[in-house]
Structure 1
Amino acid sequence: MKDVNVIAKLADLQDVGYQNALLLHALVDLLESKGLLNKDELIGSMHELDAKLHHRIQQIVRLSPAPQEP
């Protein structure tokens, strides 16, 4: 029964992910059609944010103590 619950939760997460992707795509299309955004700017911003987050994660990893072996 536990496996069924895990599979159901994964299916729910997949649906939420799909709905979020759909919403984001619709927002981008709407903003682009109104001339408030273009996809090149968005992609550039995504790459910049990704680089910043990756750098921050690396900083956190370096600050974390190494796992102790038993």
Structure 2
Amino acid sequence: MGDIDIYSQISNMKDVDYKNTLALVSLIEILIDKGVIDRHELAQKAREIDNCEQPMKTPGNCGGFSPPNYRSCPGTHA
């Protein structure tokens, strides 16, 4: 019985992940279509955040982004 429950939970998590990803991609596409952001800015910001978001990783320039419980990035006031 336990294995079936685990498979069910994994399936539910995959569904939630898909819906969250779909919502995020839709929002990004709307912002790009409206000219609020462009793909280059989005890619650059993703790289900046990725450099800071991993625990105990040497921080990069995060433009003020400092996730909770993570090492602060240069330029943050946390």
Q: CA deviation at 1:53?
A: 1.1
Q: Which has the higher helix share?
A: 1
Q: CA deviation at 1:27?
A: 0.3
Which 4+ runs in 1 deviate beyond 2 A?
none
Q: Work out the CA distance in 1 between the residues paired with 2:20 and 2:40.
A: 21
Per chain length, whose mean CA-contact separation is higher, i.e. which structure has more relative contact order (CA < 8 Å, sep 6+)?
Answer: 2
What are the ranges of 5 or more consecutive residues in structure 1 without an aligned counterpart?
Answer: 61-70
Percent identity between matched residues is 28
What are the ranges of 5 or more consecutive residues in structure 2 without an aligned counterpart?
Answer: 58-68, 70-78
Alignment of 1:8-27 (within 5 A): 8-27=8-27
* TM-score, length basis structure 1: 0.77
Aligned residues: 58
Amino acid at match of 1:22: L
